[in-house]
Structure 1
Amino acid sequence: MNLTYIGCKSVIERKSFETKEDMQQKLDIFLLGNRITQEQYTELVTFLNAA
């Protein structure tokens, strides 16, 4: 696992983001920048939507 994925998951778990939309944008950018994989992105978005 990469640190970006682990960090994003931690932020979502702690709900330490301003808005879901803001966090979604960050996840989009990390995916576009190849910082997380498509599978990790899908998992994090699902996790975010459940938060």
Structure 2
Amino acid sequence: MREDNGQVNPLGLYDLDRKIRPVGEAYRKLVAEWRDILPAESLCLGLV
């Protein structure tokens, strides 16, 4: 995951200044919208 080559990988939900990137905002929105739906309708939970 880490390579010491002096370059920073620009990917991730937040940048190095801990500012959320657009993809982080989209992920936050997705989690908020599905938070109550997934546990109630997850097939995995019914199999345990």
TM-score in terms of structure 2 length: 0.27
Greater helix fraction, Structure 1 or Structure 2: 1
Structure with more contact order per residue of length (Cα contacts < 8 Å, sep ≥ 6): 1
TM-score in terms of structure 1 length: 0.26
